[in-house]
Structure 1
Amino acid sequence: MRLKRFRNFIKNKLYKVNNSVNRYKLSFNKTIYLFLAYFVIILIFSLILYSPITQNETFAGQKITPLNYLDVVFTTSSAFSDTGLVIADSYNQWNIFGQALIATLIFSGGIGVFALKIFIINWIFRKTKITLTDMNLMQSERGGSGFRNPTQVVITSVKFLIAVTIIFGFSLSFYFYFTDVKMTPGIKDYLGSNYISPKGSWSLAFRFGFFHTISALNNAGFDIMSSNSIMPYYGAVELQICMIILLIIGGIGYPVIFDIKLAIEHKIKGKKGRHRFSLFSKVTFVIYFLVFAIGTLLTFLLETTSKDPHTYWNKIYVPDELMAEYNQYLSDSSLVPSSQLQYYLNNGQMYGSVFQKSFGIVFINFSSRSAGFTSVVISDFSFPTVLLIGLEMIIGASPASTGGGIRTTTFALFIMAIISMFRSRKDITLFKRQISKENTEMTFKVIALSTILIIIGTFILSTSHSLYGGKLNNINLTGIFFNVASAFGTSGLSAGGISKLNVASKIMLIIIMFVGQFGISSTLLVWKRKKNKESQFKYLEEELAIG
């Protein structure tokens, strides 16, 4: 009897607490509440990661400097926003516990905290009632709203993503156990000892398999392989294809996954006619792969036509101390190189054969959208290619996906709006559907605000340059723009110098990372009034000369 009364007492208390929390949520703007929830999660995880139990004191006989709290907050934010920008290399800075926490942040941040909550409540605990508040929070969190059957979309997608994580996690674990690193002699000399090979170690292989599966599926870009992403596996085409598959699954969006499920069911059940894909799925598919195809083609043309011997397609790896002699040799081939320089010349081109270099371009154009894995050194690309990749990162992935950026649908509407303007058409149509004026207006607002945010971010990061007393001295304005674009697209690719940024620059990147993840349109809701007071009168309308 006492036990029963105690249970009822606890149940009533929990019920009251839950009601209080729900009333508290209703009193807040949903996006503000979302930011507060994320703030609490980052605070808790950053405090744990800041503790000595998560960071290595030594690694491979070398002393590891512990990160200060701001750098830990930066890393935590980067993991939770699925970006991948880091202050220190993840493979040697964090121990197993620290890497597990980062993987947890990546998984929960990619799928979505409130999406996971809905999945747990509805599917695991079999409760069919989902509050409207939680549904709105989930849609704001994923940077998309208005898709059909949101509960079913979330449950189907999360189940599928968990299944993919398990299947690819085990598959890659066996791959890493039986397969050694694959790289050219030039890349091997470039990396030195700054990488780990898990071959022959089940402990490392399972850690590699699941960590990189989670990171790739959630378009995070974190790795525990080396000081330069997945470069030790530059020649492992099979591994990179697996990662591309994971990147696409994570980047196309929940509604598309659900739409594909409906199409498969339609086929299996033998229903009449074809399954009609939603406008969202059609636009997402076309733009996602169109941007990839155009980006790959342009990158290939830019790199193969480059005459600079130090760019990606032509590069031979030579260490900095021999660079002066190498440049003299390039200007006058009659000079006899020293034995040291001859060794590197004999290694051949750093990025190997034509096929290897071509596939490297394919991989970077898939990865740049929002993933952040790279098998090459970004600074080895020519100047136009770096700008091109930066633009791809800004476009990003699809709404309601694990990626960031302005989103593929926004880019599609922007291009169609420009085409309609040149054709003197007032309406925008896509796949025989007319787009609402509100959608079009929001598209231009997103583009404008994204541009302003990136300009402000580039300006603030420029204060870290040595010209202004900062520590950045080997990165130009293009590299700074590239890092800002990477943060906004939650990509994680870096032109270098992240660890040398000043406090203001790091805080700015943290803000940009979360704006990129939530989406500009969702972030705008923070400043939206609940009730708009309409004016009782209107002013005279007049044209103003522009442009």
Structure 2
Amino acid sequence: MNSKLKWLRLSPPQILVLGFAAIIFIGAALLMLPISSRTGEPLGFIDALFTSTSATCVTGLVVVDTGTTFSSFGQIVIMLLIQIGGLGFMTMATLFALVLKRRISLKDRLVLQEAMNQSSMEGIVRLIRRVLLYSLVIEACGAVLLSIRWVFDMPIGKAIYYGVFHAVTMFNNAGFDLFGDFRSLTGYVYDPVVNVVVMFLIVSGGIGFIVLSDLIDFRKQRRLSLHSKVVLSMTGALLLLGFIVILIFEFTNPRTLGSLNWGGKFLGALFQSVTPRTAGANTIDITGLRQATQFFIVILMFIGASPGSTGGGIKTTTFTIMVGAVIAMMRGRDDIVMFRYRLAQERVLKALTIALLALLLVLAVSMILSTTEEGEFLEILFETTSAFGTVGLSMGLTPDLTVFGKILISITMFAGRLGPLTLAYALGPKKGKELYRHPEGKMIIG
């Protein structure tokens, strides 16, 4: 009874943090089993913990090669961790509750509200049902298409297995792959089927389940919510900008796009524009990119995906609000207006706070790692931002991290997956108002 009362006293963010931490340690224990390794030799605790954290936080940074280190059992464990981490452990718990026809309690609904970053509990269980349905349908379609494509390259059983694994990891915006030697999808830079299917999975998982629900209901309602309009417009703008910048910067680079024909240049630039949406897969060598391109990808990774999605970062809506605040200030306007809607001031303050705290976290971790790890600062900044944004793109530094570096990057991945959620809850509207206001002061800015 006492343990139950303690559980009830935990706030939704605390339950999320403890839940994800429990899944990570369970996953690490499973990955340490001899059956999880191809050689039968158990994986070390730090490497198993790092891999479990990366999978549960749907990141994709790896210290050991997934395709050559882990057995089929270990790979399936990683795939399940990705699925649970991408959809959220409370979403999976709700699935079992619905299957067992168990009642969803008020406490469960509060945690689900926090996990999905919703402003109210209204319709939260209905949204979870849709999340599960959309995820399974999209992953199934991706798995079928990828399996059919890979039947031409490998035995049918292996093709189906690869299709299912990569459909799950790409939809959940994790960067794990089974092709070995840390190659990711570089062998398919010219392949339109693999490129289009994987990009569709990445974008579908990255725009968020609320937007997916809005798009599916658009035929009936003939309208989109403000949230969906902002997410879709900013996502489209970032994808187009990323494509143009990467194509221009890398067009003559012989280590990346310079050696490809026009079709390869187009697909390569487009795919590398999509993958910083926190997916982590790549079709060209990230280490071969020019420094300007690498730094530009750092910015894209920091922005990340959208709220209520399988991705990380500060989120497209946060970035949009910041841009809107700058434009409003430059035009001398008091309000930020988007699609004829005025944004509340507390939303603006929340966006600025999330962005600033995220920036401070990335810079602090990068500074610490620059003193403990061997590598250029841009490499360290790239890996740190990739960890915070739960992206998974790497310049090759992660496998060579020290034990301290692995632990710090693991903490960064964990903070990147859960930090924005708990921070948004902590900064949410409080019940009641202050009974007084301090006198207004003036300060010179700029």
> For the superposition of Structure 1 and Structure 2, which TM-score range results when normalised by the shorter chain?
over 0.9
Aligned 8 A contact 1:405 1:519 in 2: no
Q: How far apart are the structure 2 equivalents of 1:171 and 1:532?
A: 53
Q: Is 1:373 matched up with 2:281?
A: yes
Secondary structure, in 3 states, of the residue corresponding to 1:463? helix
Aligned 8 A contact 2:210 2:228 in 1: yes
Q: Following TM superposition, by how much is the alpha carbon of 1:174 offset from its aligned partner in structure 2, in angstroms?
A: 2.7
Q: Kindly provide the CA deviation profile for residues 361-420 of structure 1, in whole angstroms up to 9, marking residues without a partner as x.
A: 100111111101001111111111101111111111110000000011111111001100
Q: Is 1:248 matched up with 2:192?
A: no
Q: Kindly provide the CA deviation profile for residues 196-222 of structure 1, in whole angstroms up to 9, marking residues without a partner as x.
A: xxx1x2332122111001001101111
Q: How far apart are the structure 1 equivalents of 2:338 and 2:63?
A: 43
Q: Kindly provide the CA deviation profile for residues 433-488 of structure 1, in whole angstroms up to 9, marking residues without a partner as x.
A: 111111011011011101101101111221233xxxxxx2xx31111111111111
Q: How far apart are the structure 1 equivalents of 2:437 and 2:205?
A: 48
Q: Kindly provide the CA deviation profile for residues 117-175 of structure 1, in whole angstroms up to 9, marking residues without a partner as x.
A: 223323x3345x42232222223334454486222111112112112222322332232
**Among residues 412, 419, 422, which one is paired with 1:512 in the alignment?**
412
CA RMSD of aligned residues (A): 2.4
Secondary structure, in 3 states, of the residue corresponding to 1:376? coil
Residue in 2 that maps onto 1:125: 100
Alignment of 1:349-388 (within 5 A): 349=259, 352-388=260-296
Alignment of 1:37-436 (within 5 A): 37-57=19-39, 67-122=43-98, 124-127=99-102, 129-146=103-120, 149-177=123-151, 179-180=152-153, 199=154, 201-227=155-181, 228-264=183-219, 266=220, 275-304=222-251, 311-314=255-258, 349=259, 352-436=260-344
Q: How far apart are the structure 1 equivalents of 2:122 and 2:213?
A: 10
Q: Following TM superposition, by how much is the alpha carbon of 1:528 offset from its aligned partner in structure 2, in angstroms?
A: 9.5
Q: How far apart are the structure 2 equivalents of 1:356 and 1:172?
A: 19
Structure 1 residues 390 and 244, CA gap change in structure 2 (3 angstroms): same
TM-score, scaled relative to structure 1: 0.76
- Consecutive unaligned residues in structure 1, runs of 5 or more: 1-15, 59-64, 181-198, 267-273, 315-348, 466-471
Identity, in percent, stands at 30
Residue in 1 that maps onto 2:444: 545
Structure 1 residues 418 and 521, CA gap change in structure 2 (3 angstroms): farther
Q: How far apart are the structure 1 equivalents of 2:118 and 2:309?
A: 9
Structure 1 residues 135 and 202, CA gap change in structure 2 (3 angstroms): same
Aligned 8 A contact 2:190 2:263 in 1: no
Aligned 8 A contact 2:114 2:425 in 1: no
Aligned 8 A contact 2:172 2:202 in 1: yes
**Among residues 357, 374, 387, which one is paired with 1:487 in the alignment?**
387
Larger radius of gyration: 1
Aligned 8 A contact 2:149 2:193 in 1: no
Secondary structure, in 3 states, of the residue corresponding to 2:337? strand
Aligned 8 A contact 1:143 1:517 in 2: no
AA matched with 1:79 = A
Structure 1 residues 529 and 50, CA gap change in structure 2 (3 angstroms): farther
Q: Following TM superposition, by how much is the alpha carbon of 1:532 offset from its aligned partner in structure 2, in angstroms?
A: 9.8
Aligned 8 A contact 2:162 2:178 in 1: yes
**Among residues 434, 438, 448, which one is paired with 2:346 in the alignment?**
438
Secondary structure, in 3 states, of the residue corresponding to 1:368? helix
Q: How far apart are the structure 2 equivalents of 1:499 and 1:156?
A: 38
Q: How far apart are the structure 2 equivalents of 1:168 and 1:537?
A: 56
Structure 1 residues 439 and 524, CA gap change in structure 2 (3 angstroms): closer
AA matched with 2:146 = L
Q: How far apart are the structure 2 equivalents of 1:53 and 1:527?
A: 45
Give the structure with the higher percent helix.
2
Structure 1 residues 437 and 521, CA gap change in structure 2 (3 angstroms): farther
Structure 1 residues 98 and 240, CA gap change in structure 2 (3 angstroms): same
TM-score, scaled relative to structure 2: 0.93
Q: Following TM superposition, by how much is the alpha carbon of 1:276 offset from its aligned partner in structure 2, in angstroms?
A: 2.0
Q: Is 1:29 matched up with 2:42?
A: no
Number of residue pairs matched by the alignment: 445
Q: How far apart are the structure 1 equivalents of 2:427 and 2:330?
A: 34
Q: How far apart are the structure 2 equivalents of 1:256 and 1:524?
A: 19
Q: How far apart are the structure 2 equivalents of 1:279 and 1:84?
A: 31
Structure 1 residues 225 and 142, CA gap change in structure 2 (3 angstroms): farther
Residue in 2 that maps onto 1:61: none
Structure 1 residues 280 and 529, CA gap change in structure 2 (3 angstroms): closer
AA matched with 2:81 = L
- Consecutive unaligned residues in structure 2, runs of 5 or more: none
Q: How far apart are the structure 2 equivalents of 1:295 and 1:159?
A: 31
Q: Following TM superposition, by how much is the alpha carbon of 1:537 offset from its aligned partner in structure 2, in angstroms?
A: 7.6
Aligned 8 A contact 2:112 2:124 in 1: no
Q: Following TM superposition, by how much is the alpha carbon of 1:280 offset from its aligned partner in structure 2, in angstroms?
A: 1.0
Q: How far apart are the structure 2 equivalents of 1:508 and 1:142?
A: 26
Q: Following TM superposition, by how much is the alpha carbon of 1:489 offset from its aligned partner in structure 2, in angstroms?
A: 1.2
Q: Following TM superposition, by how much is the alpha carbon of 1:354 offset from its aligned partner in structure 2, in angstroms?
A: 2.3
Structure 1 residues 146 and 511, CA gap change in structure 2 (3 angstroms): farther
Secondary structure, in 3 states, of the residue corresponding to 2:342? strand
Q: Following TM superposition, by how much is the alpha carbon of 1:521 offset from its aligned partner in structure 2, in angstroms?
A: 4.8
Aligned 8 A contact 2:83 2:172 in 1: yes
Secondary structure, in 3 states, of the residue corresponding to 1:367? helix
Aligned 8 A contact 1:284 1:408 in 2: yes
Residue in 2 that maps onto 1:13: none
Q: How far apart are the structure 2 equivalents of 1:102 and 1:145?
A: 32
Structure 1 residues 498 and 275, CA gap change in structure 2 (3 angstroms): same
Q: How far apart are the structure 2 equivalents of 1:524 and 1:156?
A: 23
Structure 1 residues 255 and 528, CA gap change in structure 2 (3 angstroms): closer
Q: How far apart are the structure 1 equivalents of 2:282 and 2:267?
A: 12
Q: How far apart are the structure 1 equivalents of 2:157 and 2:101?
A: 35
Q: How far apart are the structure 2 equivalents of 1:81 and 1:313?
A: 31
